[in-house]
């Protein structure tokens, strides 16, 4: 017997993604003041692991151009 059904697992994964995406968006807004809707849309397409990577990488970003470069590579 499974402890977590497939639809529960999917819900957990979606919740994790939304939480990490929200955190990265808040970090980017704090760092750069605002982000474009296009960037927000691109963040929504990243995997959870990529959002983790971005959360760490943005600590070294000097400008929004660094974000664009990072997104282009991922």
Report the distance separating Cα 6 and Cα 39, nearest Å.
30
Per-residue pLDDT tens for 16-72? 889 999 999 999 999 999 889 999 999 999 999 999 999 999 999 999 999 999 999
pTM score above 0.85:
no
The token duo for 24 is 């990265």
Q: Output DSSP code: residue 33.
A: S
């Amino acid at each position: 017997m499974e402890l977590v059904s497939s639809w529960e697992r999917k819900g957990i994964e979606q919740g994790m993604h939304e939480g990490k995406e929200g955190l990265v968006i808040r970090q980017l807004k704090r760092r750069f003041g605002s982000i474009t809707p296009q960037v927000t849309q691109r963040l929504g397409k990243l995997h959870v692991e990529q959002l983790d990577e971005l959360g760490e990488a943005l600590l070294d970003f000097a400008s929004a151009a660094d974000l664009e470069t990072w997104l282009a590579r991922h």
